[in-house]
């Protein structure tokens, strides 16, 4: 079993087809299929990187890392987040998703990112904590666009913001992200990562 990564657009077709099938299995909506452009799930401006757990040519689990520059508390940070985390249904409960999420966190920490942050459904908080992520107390991610914001505390959502701070600059300003509305604005395709 190995963890491999590719820019989403450069993922070999044999793996990309499997990833799309896993995403459709996990989120079987017409919207997901309609959002895909040229077989891609994410806005290319977010520099999506697909991280895959593969064994004998089969994708067992997959996720994407999205990243962008954000402005927060009068400073600029390079932020990344997890998106479309999925494990093959017959392989769930074996720790593969946790292994992949932890590997992605390590990749993010070793890269140029100042911090990683994303939202998850409240029941998944312990899962992400077990892979090294920490809840960011009181933080709300504001997705969508400035003209059409999509906040993680909108009615009907039960989200938790998870984070880690990788660079010295990120760690120095961690407290500015707690109890804060963080303007992520990833756009209309990836309304909230």
CATH number of the domain within which 33 lies: 3.40.630.30
Does 20 have pLDDT greater than 80?
yes
Per-residue pLDDT reduced to its tens digit, 135-169: 999 999 999 999 999 999 999 999 999 999 999 99
Asked if residue 176 belongs to a domain, the reply is yes
Asked if residue 42 belongs to a domain, the reply is yes
Asked if residue 163 belongs to a domain, the reply is yes
Asked if residue 189 belongs to a domain, the reply is no
pLDDT at 28: 84
Tokens of 67: 């990243």
Q: Say how many domains are in the chain.
A: 1
Does 35 have pLDDT greater than 90?
no
Cα dihedral 39→40→44→47 (10° resolution):
-130
Asked if residue 74 belongs to a domain, the reply is yes
Asked if residue 190 belongs to a domain, the reply is no
pLDDT at 30: 55
Residues forming a β-bridge with 146: none
Asked if residue 21 belongs to a domain, the reply is yes
Is the separation of the CB atoms in 59 and 15 below 8 Å?
yes
Is the separation of the CB atoms in 116 and 105 below 8 Å?
yes
pLDDT band at 96 (very low <50, low <70, confident <90, very high): very high
> What is the average pLDDT across 61-88?
97
Residue 28 exposed, middle or buried by CB count within 10 Å (0-12, 13-18, 19+)? exposed
Asked if residue 188 belongs to a domain, the reply is no
What is Dmax (Cα atoms) for the chain? 48
Q: Which domain holds residue 94?
A: 2-183
The CA-atom distances, in angstroms, between 173 and each of 94, 119, 169 are 36, 20, 6
């Amino acid at each position: 079993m190995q963890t491999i990564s590719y820019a989403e657009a450069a993922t070999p077709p044999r793996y990309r087809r499997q990833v799309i099938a896993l995403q459709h299995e996990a989120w079987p909506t017409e919207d997901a299929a309609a959002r895909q452009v040229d077989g891609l799930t994410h806005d290319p401006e977010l520099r999506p990187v697909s991280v895959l757990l593969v064994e004998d040519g089969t994708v067992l689990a997959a996720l994407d890392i999205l990243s962008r520059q954000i402005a927060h508390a009068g400073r600029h940070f390079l932020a990344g987040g997890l998106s479309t985390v999925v494990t093959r249904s017959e392989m769930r409960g074996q720790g593969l998703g946790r292994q992949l999420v932890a590997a992605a966190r390590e990749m993010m920490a070793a890269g140029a990112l100042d911090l990683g942050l994303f939202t998850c459904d409240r029941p998944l908080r312990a899962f992400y904590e077990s892979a090294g992520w920490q809840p960011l107390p009181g933080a709300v991610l504001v997705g969508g666009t400035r003209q059409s914001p999509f906040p993680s505390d909108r009615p009907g959502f039960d989200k938790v913001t998870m984070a880690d701070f990788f660079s010295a600059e990120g760690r120095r300003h961690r407290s500015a992200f707690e109890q804060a509305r963080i303007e992520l604005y990833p756009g209309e395709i990836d309304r909230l990562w």
